Copies of this chain bind each other. A is one copy, B any other.
Amino acid sequence: MRVVLESPLDMHLHLRDEDMLKSVAHFTSKCFSGAIIMPNLVPPITTIDDIKAYKNRIKEATKGDDFEAYMTLFFKNSYDYDFLKEAKDVVKAIKLYPSGVTTNSDGGVSDLDIENLKETLEAMSELKLPLLVHGETNGFVMDREREFGVFYEKLAKSFPKLKIVMEHITDRHSVKLLKEYENLYATITLHHLLLTLDDVIGGSLKPHYFCKPIVKTYADREVLQELALEADAKVMFGSDSAPHPKNKKERDSGAAGIFSAPVLLPALCELFEKNDRLENLQKFVSNNARDIYDIDPIKKEVVIEKREFIVPENLKDIVPMFAGKKLSWRCESE
């Protein structure tokens, strides 16, 4: 058996930079037609020159593959209409990080008062530049996304023409908001579809399943699965694949992030097949995103075969999601 996907897209991806970029980029560019690239480098990407240069480095790292890197800028409330108009030639969206909630988010927004963000968000709205949001407060780790809901509602109401993407949603409360507000959209990761907190701390400690936002309860996972398996039109696949070297994960003060890029489409096939929803996978991994972002990705057929795939234990010095485990699907290019 095989599944042929047309121009699959990963709508939330961390490619890092330099050697790490060179190590990880091809796992995505082989199997996807395009990806939304997160701007939280050190320092974060906030200028047009920097975004152009980063896009070129990604082009170099993915040479030989039909792949488009859709770029994003790191949100600053100093961005004005003229700047954003120029930026729009290079970027597809702007990513907002509340300060301190995840890897390299220290320069993020520390005051979530709508008034302070208004000028920038109105300009984005006018320019039809989507706002991508890491939606977490600094509260108790299991409540952060739910608590952020108030802010999602304020945003949705204050900027009704702005497309707001709740990135990597993890919590059933976000799904309620998604259904309630027309201009809210969401990405869902593979790991939030498959894991719960039990996988991280329920048995022995699993640093390679440690990520932000943390994976939640069985009830949360069920609601996310429903949404993805039905390929709800407001939901896109976004992996949040976020590589760190093994020695930054398996140590005291370990880094948050799951390197899922090497297993994404096989594991999604497994999940959708198990639930008898393979026919919805195309929408979830591509068509919905095309509609929401109004993009026309590079034509590319990606074949996933039902054939055993043992996930490597290490890819250079990075441990991928499901390292050493057996999947029943694999990308043909593997």
Contacting B at CB under 8 A, from A208-238, are: 208, 210, 214, 217-218
A255 cross-chain contacts in B, Cβ below 8 A: 204-205
**At the interface, yes or no: A254 with Cβ under 8 Å from chain B?**
yes
Distance from A57 Cβ to chain B, minimum over Cβ atoms (Å): 27
Distance from A312 Cβ to chain B, minimum over Cβ atoms (Å): 14
A141 cross-chain contacts in B, Cβ below 8 A: 197-198, 201-202
- Closest B residue by C-beta to A255: B204
Tell me if B218 and A140 are in contact (CB < 8 A): yes
State in angstroms the CA–CA spacing of A201 and B253 once bound together. Answer: 9
Distance from A246 Cβ to chain B, minimum over Cβ atoms (Å): 9
Tell me if A252 and B250 are in contact (CB < 8 A): yes
Interface size on A, residues (CB 8 A): 28
Q: Binding site of A, secondary structure by majority: helix, strand, loop or mixed?
A: loop
Distance from A330 Cβ to chain B, minimum over Cβ atoms (Å): 23
Distance from A197 Cβ to chain B, minimum over Cβ atoms (Å): 6
- Closest B residue by C-beta to A100: B203
Which residue, of A140, A218, A249, has the highest number of chain B Cβ atoms within 10 A?
Answer: A140
State in angstroms the CA–CA spacing of A312 and B110 once bound together. Answer: 35
Q: Which residues of A are in contact with B by a Cβ distance under 8 Å?
A: 140-142, 196-198, 200-208, 210, 214, 217-218, 249-256, 319
A-B contacts, 8 listed (Cβ < 8 Å): A140-B197, A140-B217, A140-B218, A141-B201, A142-B142, A201-B201, A203-B253, A252-B319
